[in-house]
Chains A and B, each alone.
Chain A
Amino acid sequence: MIDNIVFGLSQIADIRVILVIALGVAIGVVFGALPGLTATMAVALLAPLTFDMTPLIALPFLVGVYRGGLHGGVITSIMIGVPGTPANVPTVLDGYEMAKQGYPQSALRYALFASVAGALIASILLFTLITPASRLALAFGSPEIFALILFSMTLVTYISGATLAKGLLAAGAGMFLGTIGLDPIVGTPRFTFGVVNLTAGIPIIAMFIGLFAIPELMGFVEQRARQKSGIASDRDEAVRATFSAPDDNILLRDVIRLYWRRILISAGIGSFIGVLPGIGSETSPWLSYAAAKRGKNGANFGKGEPEGVIASEVANDAVVGAAFVPTLAFGIPGDLPLAVMLGALMAQGIRPGPALVRDNPEVLFGIVASVFASSILLYIIVRPLTRYVKKVVEVPTMVLTPIILGLCVAGAFGVNNRPFDLWIMVVFGFIGYAMRKSGIPLAPMVLAFVLSKSFETSFRESMMLERNFSVFATSPFALTMVALSVLVISSSVVMDSRRRSQGKSVAPATAR
Chain B
Amino acid sequence: MRGPNIKGIRRLFDDRLLGIAGVALGLAILWLLPTAVRASTFLLPGTDFRFIRGDFFPRVVAWGFLVIGAWLLVVEQFRRSRGLPQEPWPVERTTRGELAAAGRFIIGVAIYVLAVNSIGFMVSTAVTYLVLSRWLGASWKVAVATAVLGALTMEVVFSGVLGIPLPGRLIRF
CA distance A185 to B136 in the complex (A): 49
CB proximity to A under 8 Å, residues B114-169: 116-117, 121, 125, 128-129, 132-133, 135-138, 142-143, 146-147, 150-151, 154, 158, 162-167
Q: Does B31 belong to the interface (CB within 8 Å)?
A: no
| B24 contacts partner chain A, Cβ-Cβ < 8 Å | no
Q: Is the CB of B109 within 8 A of A214?
A: yes
Partner of A500, one of B29, B79, B99, B116: B79
Is A172 within 8 A of B110, CB to CB? no
Question: Which chain A residues in 168-227 approach chain B with CB under 8 Å?
Answer: 168-169, 172-173, 175-176, 179, 183, 185-186, 188-193, 214, 217-218, 220-222, 224-226
Kindly state whether residue A509 has any CB partner on chain B within 8 Å: yes
Are B57's CB and A399's CB within 8 A? no
A419: contacting residue among B22, B117, B142, CB under 8 A = B117
Instruction: List residues of A (221-260) whose CB comes within 8 Å of B's CBs.
Output: 221-222, 224-226, 228-229, 231
Is there a chain A Cβ closer than 8 Å to B51's Cβ?
A: yes
How many angstroms from the CA of A396 to the CA of B135 in the assembled complex?
A: 13
Which of A217, A231, A506, A511 makes the CB contact (< 8 A) with B91?
A: A511
Number of A-B contacts (CB under 8 A): 225
Q: Tell me if B171 counts as interface (CB < 8 A to partner A).
A: no
Is A422's CB under 8 angstroms from B117's CB? yes
Contacts of A436 in B (CB 8 A): 91
How far apart are B46's CB and chain A's nearest CB, in angstroms? 14
Task: Give the Cβ gap from B28 to chain A, nearest Cβ, in Å.
Answer: 10
Q: Mark A153-164, 1 if CB is under 8 A from B, else 0.
A: 000000001110
Shortest C-beta distance, A203 to chain B (Å), equals 14
The digit string for A400-431, where 1 denotes a CB below 8 A from any CB of B, is: 01110111011001100101001101100110
Does A56 interact with chain B (Cβ within 8 Å)? Answer: no
A298 CB to closest chain B CB, in angstroms? 18
* Contact bitstring B86-104, A, C-beta under 8 A = 1, else 0: 0111110011011111101
B64 and A168: CB pair below 8 A?
Answer: yes
Q: Is the CB of A410 within 8 A of B101?
A: no
B166 nearest in chain A by CB position: A410
**Contact B113 A422, beta carbon cutoff 8 Å:** yes
Chain B 52-91, CB within 8 Å of chain A: the 1/0 string? 1011111001101100110110010011000011011111
B117 touches A186 (CB 8 A): no
Give the segment of A367-375, A386-394, A437-445 that binds chain B. Answer: A437-445
In the complex, the answer to whether B101 meets A221 with C-beta atoms within 8 Å is yes
Interface membership of A336, Cβ < 8 A: no
Which residue from chain B places its CB closest to the CB of A508 in the assembled complex? B90
Q: Is A397 an interface residue (CB 8 A)?
A: yes
State whether B102 touches A218 (Cβ < 8 A): yes
| Shortest distance between the CB of A187 and any CB in chain B (Å) | 8
| B18 proximal to A (CB < 8 A) | yes
- The answer to whether residues A417 and B154 also contact, given A165-B75, A406-B125, A509-B88 and a CB cut-off of 8 A, is no
| Cα distance, A423 to B142, chains bound together (Å) | 29
Contact B116 A507 (CB under 8 A): no
Complex Cα–Cα for A189 and B39 (A): 8
What is the bound-complex CA distance between A185 and B41, given in angstroms?
11
Q: Per a CB cutoff under 8 Å, which of B11, B61, B105, B133 touches A399? A: B133
Does A434 touch B at the CB level, under 8 Å?
yes
Q: How far is the CB of B11 from chain A (nearest CB, A)?
A: 7
Chain A: minimal CB distance from B149 (Å): 10
Q: Mark A341-367, 1 if CB is under 8 A from B, else 0.
A: 000000000000000000000000000
25 sampled A-B residue pairs with Cβ under 8 A: A45-B164, A173-B25, A175-B61, A186-B43, A191-B37, A218-B102, A231-B95, A398-B133, A398-B137, A398-B138, A402-B147, A405-B128, A405-B132, A406-B125, A409-B112, A410-B154, A425-B113, A429-B109, A434-B13, A437-B11, A438-B12, A459-B51, A500-B78, A507-B88, A507-B90
**Knowing that A402-B129, A410-B154, A464-B52 are A-B contacts, what are 9 other residue pairs whose CB atoms are under 8 Å apart, sorted by A's residue number?**
A165-B68, A166-B18, A224-B137, A225-B100, A399-B133, A402-B146, A414-B165, A500-B84, A510-B90
Residues in B lying within 8 Å of A, measured CB to CB: 11-13, 18, 22, 25, 29, 32, 36-40, 43, 49, 51-52, 54-58, 61-62, 64-65, 68-69, 71-72, 75, 78-79, 84-85, 87-91, 94-95, 97-102, 104-106, 109-110, 112-113, 116-117, 121, 125, 128-129, 132-133, 135-138, 142-143, 146-147, 150-151, 154, 158, 162-167
Q: 9 smallest A-B Cβ distances: which pairs?
A: A225-B101, A437-B12, A188-B39, A398-B136, A398-B138, A222-B98, A511-B90, A402-B129, A188-B40
